[in-house]
Amino acid sequence: MIDLNLSIDDALQIAKEAEQRTADFYADAYQKTKNPLGKSIFQELTEFERYHYRKLSELEDSLRSRGSYIHYENRELSVSAVSSKITENEENPKSALEILAMSMEIEIEAEKRYKGLQQQTIDPEGKDMFKKLAREEAEHYRVVSNAYWNLSEKGIWKLPK
């Protein structure tokens, strides 16, 4: 969680670094995953985290140059397939489950971070941005936790509807 004693500059730097690490983690997960739906999930999450990084950078620039928050446009996950069975030549489901378990932890922390920034911020536009970011991270958690459950219980990659 964000330390409420941090300056907004420091908090944004921490958030940007976390988004970069998360994007790198998902890009690596994409490389390690052979299942088409798993790859699609990790590719989309990689792009989503990069989007967050870019928006946080825009916010940082705006705060420095104009002293104002930016409007944040929501973004939706756009993975096309909804389920895909694991085949014999695919990855070990246990390693995929480990990646998904780590993903769940990452998304929980990200949601907490943005909720902390939302509480710390008094500007309405800033509050709205951090609220939306927290919601997006909660949605990422829902997707990866659902994928984890389906893979561990049913042996399939599946997205929630």
Check which CATH number belongs to the domain holding 137 and give it: 1.20.1260.10
In a domain, 2, yes or no: no
Predicted TM-score of the model (pTM): 0.88
Instruction: Judge whether 3 lies within some domain.
Output: no
- For residue 32, give both structure tokens: 């390690």
Q: How confident is the model at residue 86 (pLDDT cuts 50, 70, 90)?
A: low
Could you report the per-residue pLDDT of 100-120, keeping only the tens digit for each? 999 999 999 999 999 999 998
Domain range for 15 is: 8-70+80-158
The predicted-structure confidence for 106-160, as pLDDT tens digits, reads as follows 999 999 999 999 998 899 999 999 999 999 999 999 999 999 999 889 888 887 7
Q: What share of the chain is helix, strand, coil (3-state, %, to 5)?
A: 70, 5, 25
Residue 1 domain flag: no
Give the whole-angstrom CA distance, residue 19 versus residue 42: 14
**Half-sphere exposure (Cβ direction) of 84: Cα atoms closer than 13 Å:** 20
Number of domains in the chain: 1
CA 10 to chain CA mean position, Å: 20
